[in-house]
């Protein structure tokens, strides 16, 4: 049996991480060898944390060696636990630090999901500031961005991050692995105020049901009430073919996302900028999602330096009907939000229509008209959605109805083509 386990990263170029080795021994108590870049500032606290961790984990006789490059407490704790497990030690309990106050907020079924930022699961340095960039969702990824040998370390780190890190209102998401490993991932993350699970490479409704059942079981075990949503990712021909079935597989499905790298490989095509090869699948997933009453979410844009390309790509996705885009770099988020936001012309038109609608309602009229034109119900519905979106992104003042100089205030019946004032 192996008696030594190690976890984390070491070396001078490592930042905000640490390397911890646990060597199990038969006697001699706990031996701690700590080297830290922040010894002067936090040496005592780090030692305290490690000793507490050893006690919780039930490490009595062990040599623990640490090389710390400024890891935050949640990372130190995760590396210690992973190293202990890798040494063959069965922990007496998980080493959980107290959950932070800023990690307790909840999500909503229909919330904005324009951007969701992927963070590699085993890379702690990206975690703490990710929410500052204002994404609608943050995905702590256990799947493709984590090397097979680090899956266990990533689970532990992601669990600790969910308890410790303030994501500043972003929806708290985890992308699990495929199959049985993915179901095991859920045991680690669901109890820690997880909002949403991304399920990769989904090809059948049964896969969604399996995830949903496991989530329900974990919630029951921990007495959790708040919903944990799921978002299947369609990444194959079969998945695309069955998009609608997947979308209605569980009431917890909030959206269907499409992943094009795997999809194009699956159909034997090259991925191109024009995207002709994936048009059918995108339209299929979009219609499947809409038919199922959930949000259609587009793939990621992978050239992080090309902001103009990203903007065009989002505008194209928006024109097809998608409401979200994956992000792999924080600088993409703002561009995505701006491109998804209604433009001033749309907003002004929508305000006119909503005013006319409210006017008609207050006068008890069944027909909404603007000047000499009749307005159909779907047009009103879309205008209400546009006004709502404009309010959410701050492109419309909450008091937009008041005053003659506000959008949509003109009663002439002529829509202002340029928008704005």
Partner 1 sequence: MTKLVKNAVGRDVPVEINGEAAVPFQGVGKFVPTGRKAAPPIRSCADYPSDGNKIVDSIKQALVNAGLRDGMTISTHHHLRNGDFVANAVFAAAAELGVKGLRWFPSASFPIHEPQIALMEAGVISHIEGSMNGPLGDYCTRGRMKGMAILRSHGGRYQAVQDGEVHIDIAVIAAPTADPFGNATGDRGPTACGLLGFALADSEYADHVIAVTDNLVPFPCIPWQIQGNNVDQVVVMDSIGDASKIVSGTTQITKSPDRLLIAELTARFCDEAGIVQDGFSFQAGAGGTALSFALFLRDMMRERNIKARFVRGGSTQYLVDMLEEGLTDYILDGQTFDLEGVRSMRENPGHQNTSPFTSYNWHGKGNFASMLDAVVLGATEVDLGFNANVVTHSDGRLLHGIGGWMNCLASKCTILPIPSFRDRIPVIVDDVTTLCGPGELIDVIVTERGIAINPQRRDLKEQLRGSSLPIRPLADIKNEVDEICGGAAAKPDLGEKVVAAIKWVDGTVIDCVRQVGQ
Contact footprint for partner 1 (CB under 8 A): 15-16, 37-38, 40-45, 49, 69-73, 100, 128-129, 132-133, 166, 329-331, 394
Comparison of 109 and 168: residue with beta carbon closer to partner 1: 168
CA atoms within 13 A on the CB side of 268: 0
What is the distance between the alpha carbons of residues 111 and 182, in angstroms, rounded to a whole number? 25
Min separation Cβ 101 and partner 1, Å: 9
Comparison of 267 and 391: residue with beta carbon closer to partner 1: 391
Min separation Cβ 71 and partner 1, Å: 7
Comparison of 9 and 242: residue with beta carbon closer to partner 1: 9
Q: How many residues does the chain have?
A: 421
CB 112 within 8 A of CB 178: no
Closest residue by Cα to residue 74 from 14, 161, 16 = 161
Comparison of 141 and 207: residue with beta carbon closer to partner 1: 141
Min separation Cβ 330 and partner 1, Å: 4
Q: How many CB atoms lie within 10 A of CB 29?
A: 9
Closest residue by Cα to residue 257 from 195, 201, 320, 329 = 201
Comparison of 72 and 292: residue with beta carbon closer to partner 1: 72
Comparison of 92 and 132: residue with beta carbon closer to partner 1: 132
Min separation Cβ 145 and partner 1, Å: 16
Min separation Cβ 315 and partner 1, Å: 20
CB 174 within 8 A of CB 137: no
Min separation Cβ 352 and partner 1, Å: 26
Residue 114 sits at φ, ψ, to 5 deg, of: -70, -40
Per DSSP, the residues of 104-165 read -----TT---SEEEEEETT-GGGHHHHGGG--SEEEEE-STTS-GGGHHHHHHHHHHHHHH-
């Amino acid at each position: 049996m192996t008696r030594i386990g190690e976890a984390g990263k070491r070396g001078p170029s490592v930042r905000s991480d640490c390397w911890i080795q646990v060597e199990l021994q038969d006697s001699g108590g706990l031996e701690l060898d700590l080297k830290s870049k922040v010894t002067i500032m936090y040496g005592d606290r780090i030692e305290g944390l490690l000793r507490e961790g050893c006690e919780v984990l039930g490490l009595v006789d062990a040599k623990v060696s640490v090389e710390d490059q400024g890891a935050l407490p949640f990372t130190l704790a995760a590396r210690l636990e992973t190293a202990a497990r890798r040494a063959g030690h069965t922990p007496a309990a998980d080493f959980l630090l107290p959950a932070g106050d800023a990690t307790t907020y909840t999500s909503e079924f229909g919330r904005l999901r324009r951007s969701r930022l992927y963070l590699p699961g085993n890379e702690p340095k990206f975690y703490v500031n990710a929410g500052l960039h204002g994404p609608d969702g943050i995905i702590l990824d256990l799947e493709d961005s984590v090397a097979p040998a680090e899956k266990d370390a990533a689970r532990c780190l992601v669990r600790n991050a969910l308890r410790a890190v303030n994501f500043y209102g972003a929806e708290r998401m985890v992308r699990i692995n495929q199959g049985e490993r993915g179901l095991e991932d859920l045991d680690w993350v669901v109890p820690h105020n997880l909002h949403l699970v991304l399920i990769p490479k989904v090809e059948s409704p049964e896969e969604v049901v399996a995830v949903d059942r496991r989530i329900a079981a974990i919630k029951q075990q921990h007495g959790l009430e708040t919903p944990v949503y799921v978002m299947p990712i369609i990444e194959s021909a079969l998945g695309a073919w069955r998009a609608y079935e997947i979308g209605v597989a569980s009431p917890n499905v909030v959206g269907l996302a499409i992943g094009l790298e795997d999809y194009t490989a699956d159909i034997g095509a090259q991925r191109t900028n024009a995207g002709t090869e994936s048009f059918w699948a995108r339209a299929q997933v979009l219609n499947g999602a809409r038919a199922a009453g959930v949000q259609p979410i587009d793939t990621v844009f992978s050239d992080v330096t090309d902001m103009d390309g990203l903007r065009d790509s989002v505008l194209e996705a928006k024109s097809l009907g998608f409401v979200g885009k994956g992000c792999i770099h924080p600088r993409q988020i703002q561009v995505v939000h701006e491109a998804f936001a209604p433009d001033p012309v749309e907003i002004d038109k929508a305000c006119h229509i909503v005013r006319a609608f409210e006017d008609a309602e207050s006068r008890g009229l069944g027909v909404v008209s603007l000047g000499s034109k009749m307005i159909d119900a779907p047009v009103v519905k879309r205008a209400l959605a546009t006004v709502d979106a404009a309010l959410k992104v701050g492109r419309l003042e909450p008091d937009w109805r008041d005053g003659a100089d506000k959008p949509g205030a003109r009663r002439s019946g002529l829509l202002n083509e340029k928008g704005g004032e």
